[in-house]
Amino acid sequence: RMVPVRWSRYNPSYLEPEVNKELYQKPLEELTEEEREKVDLKAVRPIKAAPPTVSSSVFSDPMISKFTNMMMKSGNKVLARSLMSQTLEAIKRKQLEKYHKAPENEKETIECNPYVIFHQALKNCQPIIGLSNITRGGKTYQVPVPLKDNRKRFLAMKWLITECRENKHRRMLMPEKLSKELLLAYNNEGPIIKKKHVLHKMAEANRAYAHFRWW
């Protein structure tokens, strides 16, 4: 008798839902071979229900929801969501201030959209290689290893959150500190970018052990 290990309430034949409206408005001719196969498969198989965090409106963004979930403590999504919206508001305010103070020729270079700033900042924070512990002959070596996309995004978000929770002034609130860090990361400055560079340097220093990796 075998027992389910890490199960889900859905049958394994259920597929993930696709919420983006624009993909449905594309006519059939424009799709590639693989996409046509996917469409055929979707027409036959049952599909899971859309989770409550996801919506087809322009305001829902998968990266932002992931970040809010990581910021959430003991299931308090309301608080996390409000902190996130306050952060985005704070970024917008700071950028608008800068925009109004800047001279005419620089006004076009200043980015005011907080979502764009968030995405760019995260991309700047993502490390390219990481280190992993491999034990050979009793000794553990730190071996440089290429990271997957998910892992990069996770590390960038984790560093942002830990940075904002620890290295701040006692009375400074989370949205303020987060907006500051995001703006610094957008300009490739700040402690998180420094952490990323330190990791890259460590990986470069341990280049000699790169052949220990077998995957």
Q: How far apart are CA 195 and CA 198, in angstroms?
A: 5
CB of 94 to other proteins, least distance (A): 23
Binding site residues, other proteins, CB under 8 A: 1-7, 9-10, 12, 17-19, 21, 24, 37, 40-50, 52-53, 55-57, 59-60, 77-78, 81
Sign of the CA dihedral 134, 160, 65, 20?
Answer: negative
CB of 34 to other proteins, least distance (A): 12
DSSP 208: G
Cβ contact 142:152 at 8 Å: no
For 30, the token pair is 């424009």
Cβ contact 87:103 at 8 Å: no
Q: How far apart are CA 200 and CA 205, in angstroms?
A: 9
CB of 103 to other proteins, least distance (A): 38
CB of 178 to other proteins, least distance (A): 19
Nearer to other proteins, 25 or 133 (CB): 25
Q: How far apart are CA 175 and CA 87, in angstroms?
A: 4
For 180, the token pair is 């500051």
CB of 47 to other proteins, least distance (A): 6
